[in-house]
Amino acid sequence: MAEPSLCCLAGTELCEGLEALIKARRFAHQTRRDPWDFALMHQELATRGVGPTELRWMLSQGWVLHGSDQTRTTDSARSVERCGRYVFDAESCFVLTEEGQRAFEAALGLPPHAESRAEATPQWDGQRHELLLSGVVIKRYRWPALNQEAILAAFEEEGWAPRIDDPLTPMGDTDPKRRLADTIKCLNRNQQRTRIRFRGDGTGEGVIWGLV
């Protein structure tokens, strides 16, 4: 991404909208929530100086993600469906990517947030059955996968420590080390984007994760 692209962001009416996007992403990180829970609506950004043309440009740079807010008044949690189109409507909402946060912080002269300085931490959303990294879905489970989800839930509970003990409940005569190894293999399969790699700790009794 060329530096001149960043220069046109600073010192313009866009600043208020960019600051709002940064604040929303920081809130999500601080509360360990899905960034989509803090997504800003299209109209809200427009009133802060970020119109359709600017949003399309940001999308093309990979700095924001576009979603459609499907939340109903009877829902207990926000529901956003990711979409990649460049046409917006009243349900359109947006979140910053990790790259976008770095770019906007640099353009506005803001000190980098802790999340920008450190490696991204995955997030397991047990209600949606989604594994995310920087707000992007890495893997989505459409059918129950109890062993895999147990490991992901354990990592989430431990704050994504580098290593966790085998959290799987023993099952009769099943070899626990073999079952753990098979589950780890399944965790690494069918990722929408190969960004996270799981492996055994060498003892057959623990799991380690890392970024690819």
Tens digits of per-residue pLDDT, 137-167? 899 999 999 999 999 999 999 999 889 999 9
Distance linking the first and last C-alpha atoms of the chain: 22
pLDDT of residue 211: 79
Residues 6+ apart with CB under 8 A from 155: 122, 124, 161, 164, 207, 209
Q: What is the pLDDT of residue 5?
A: 53
Span 59-90, pLDDT tens digits: 998 899 999 999 988 888 788 988 878 999 99
**Which of 34-38, 44-48, 113-117, 119-123 comes out lowest in average pLDDT?**
113-117
Question: What is the Cα–Cα distance from 138 to 151, expressed in whole angstroms?
Answer: 15
**Against a cut of 0.85, is the pTM above it?**
no
Q: Structural domain boundaries of the chain?
A: 3-117, 122-211
